[in-house]
């Protein structure tokens, strides 16, 4: 069996042979932008998730004009195939993938295994040199809200969880992709994180499938059979409305990609507000296992 959308994933070998392909733009997005500065895939553009892929004032993704300015200045056109990669097995690369799909970019792909996979193969080139591609005029579409979950919908599902417990239908399949200690409420966030919440626990009705369970030790994605067993084993079915969330929306982008593009879930959304929004709400129902 193969992935539902195998064209959304590229291998290091494929990318190596396409490094000078003018129809491709390679973009690196890391948790730690110093990684790009120290060295990157030749020709890759570096984006900083905090500065480039967030609204600078409101807590939100960039609006269409901001994204258009960013991509136009960096030489990315609507016609380009965008190949994304990054550290932490593509966390923020997956987040960028989600933002680009939200704004209607046609051909976006992830480098399987991300930056570490490339780094560990000494036959693959790295450079500190920054390439300036000629500017373009990028035109994003209106944001596709069917890819994005909002807190109001999540709350409706959460308050319906009690009804589910007594035999009613689940409104949403909620997948909490954080670590087991965050899910149980033992900790609010991993140590040292700037973005956190007032309360610990998870959204009622959510199941916990930590994001890393979808990857092999080298950061590449597990096989479709393994992924099907993993998520199916947690009771998640491809046809039901599904929402993935984490702390700030990047780890959940990774799982969103897995569910939508590797397993073919046809109605899966990323809740980018995630626990730092939900866990700060007055009066929101919370489940805690500690």
Partner 1 sequence: MPESTHSQPGTRTTTDLHARVYDGVLDMMPSEENPTPLVRLNALTPPGSTLYAKLEWMNPFGSVKDRAAWAMIRDLESRGELGDAKPGRGIVEPTSGNTGFSLAAIASVRGYPARAVMPSKVPTEKRALIRMAGADVDISSDAMCPLPGSEDGTIGLARTYARAQSNKYVMPNQYENQINARAHEETTGPEIWRQTQGKVSHVFVSLGTCGTVTGISRYLKSKNANVKIIAVQPSPGHDVPGLRNVSELDVSKLYDPSLIDEILQIDFNLAYTNALSLLRREGLRAGPSSGLIFEGARIISARDGVPMGVMIFCDDIFKYVSTMIKHLPELGGSDAEGGS
How would you class 38 by CB atoms within 10 Å of its CB: exposed for 0-12, middle for 13-18, buried for 19 or more?
A: exposed
Cβ contact 284:152 at 8 Å = no
CB 192, min distance to partner 1, A: 6
Task: Quickly list DSSP for 52-76.
Answer: HSS-SSSSS---HHHHHHHHHHTT-
- For partner 1, the closer of residues 25 and 178 by Cβ is 178
Q: Which of 108, 246, 262, 284 is catalytic?
A: 246
CB 280, min distance to partner 1, A: 19
- For partner 1, the closer of residues 120 and 146 by Cβ is 120
Cβ contact 149:243 at 8 Å = yes
CB 39, min distance to partner 1, A: 2
Collapsing DSSP states into helix, strand and coil, what is residue 136? coil
Tell me which of 4, 19, 24, 31 binds partner 1, using CB under 8 A: 31
- For partner 1, the closer of residues 169 and 217 by Cβ is 217
Checking 280-284 for CB contacts under 8 A at 24+ apart, the result is 280/197, 280/198, 280/199, 281/151, 281/155, 284/155, 284/158
DSSP 166: T
- Binding characters for partner 1, 136-165, by CB under 8 A (x = yes): ------------------------------
- For partner 1, the closer of residues 86 and 140 by Cβ is 86
How do strand 9-10 and strand 108-111 relate by DSSP bridges?
parallel
CB 92, min distance to partner 1, A: 11
Q: Tell whether residue 39 is a contact of partner 1 (CB under 8 A).
A: yes
- For partner 1, the closer of residues 73 and 127 by Cβ is 127
Cβ contact 133:25 at 8 Å = yes
Of 97, 96, 136, the residue nearest 5 (C-alpha): 97
- For partner 1, the closer of residues 24 and 124 by Cβ is 124
Question: From CA 62, how far away is CA 141, in angstroms rounded?
Answer: 13
CB 30, min distance to partner 1, A: 9
Distances (CA, A) of 5 to 18, 54, 117, 253, 269: 20, 27, 21, 16, 17
Of 116, 185, 100, 181, the residue nearest 148 (C-alpha): 100
Cβ contact 174:206 at 8 Å = yes
Q: Name the token pair of 92.
A: 């923020």
- Binding characters for partner 1, 180-219, by CB under 8 A (x = yes): ----------xxxx----------------xxx--x-xxx
Q: Tell whether residue 35 is a contact of partner 1 (CB under 8 A).
A: yes
Q: Tell whether residue 251 is a contact of partner 1 (CB under 8 A).
A: yes
* 51 annotated active-site: no
Binding residues for partner 1 restricted to 76-135, rule: CB under 8 A: 87-89, 115-116, 119-120, 122, 126-128
CB 227, min distance to partner 1, A: 16
Catalytic site positions = 246
Contact footprint for partner 1 (CB under 8 A)? 31-32, 34-35, 38-40, 87-89, 115-116, 119-120, 122, 126-128, 178-179, 190-193, 210-212, 215, 217-219, 247, 251
């Amino acid at each position: 069996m193969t992935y539902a959308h195998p064209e959304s994933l590229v291998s290091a070998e494929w990318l190596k042979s396409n490094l000078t392909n003018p129809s491709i733009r390679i973009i690196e997005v890391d948790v730690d932008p110093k990684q790009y500065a120290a060295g990157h895939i030749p020709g890759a553009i570096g984006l900083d998730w905090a500065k480039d892929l967030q609204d600078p004032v409101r807590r939100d993704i960039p609006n269409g004009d901001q994204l258009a300015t960013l991509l136009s200045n960096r030489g990315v056109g609507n016609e380009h195939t965008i190949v994304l990669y990054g550290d932490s097995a593509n966390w923020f690369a997956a987040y960028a993938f989600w933002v680009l799909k939200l704004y209607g970019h046609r051909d976006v792909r992830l480098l399987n295994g991300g930056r570490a996979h490339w780094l560990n193969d000494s036959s693959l080139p790295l450079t500190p040199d920054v390439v300036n591609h000629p500017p373009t005029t990028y035109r994003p579409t209106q944001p596709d809200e069917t890819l994005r979950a909002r807190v109001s919908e999540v709350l409706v599902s959460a308050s319906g969880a009690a009804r589910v417990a007594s035999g009613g239908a689940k409104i949403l399949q909620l997948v909490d992709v954080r670590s087991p200690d965050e899910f149980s409420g033992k900790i609010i966030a991993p140590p040292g994180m700037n973005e956190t919440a007032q309360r610990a626990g998870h959204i009622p009705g959510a199941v916990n499938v930590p994001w890393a369970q979808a990857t092999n030790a080298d950061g590449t994605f597990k096989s479709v059979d393994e992924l099907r067993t993993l998520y199916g084993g947690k009771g998640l079915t491809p046809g039901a409305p599904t929402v993935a969330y984490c702390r700030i929306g990047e780890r959940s982008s990774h799982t969103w990609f897995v569910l939508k593009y590797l397993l073919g879930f046809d109605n899966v959304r990323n809740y980018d507000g995630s626990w730092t929004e939900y866990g700060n709400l007055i009066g929101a129902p919370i489940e805690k296992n500690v």
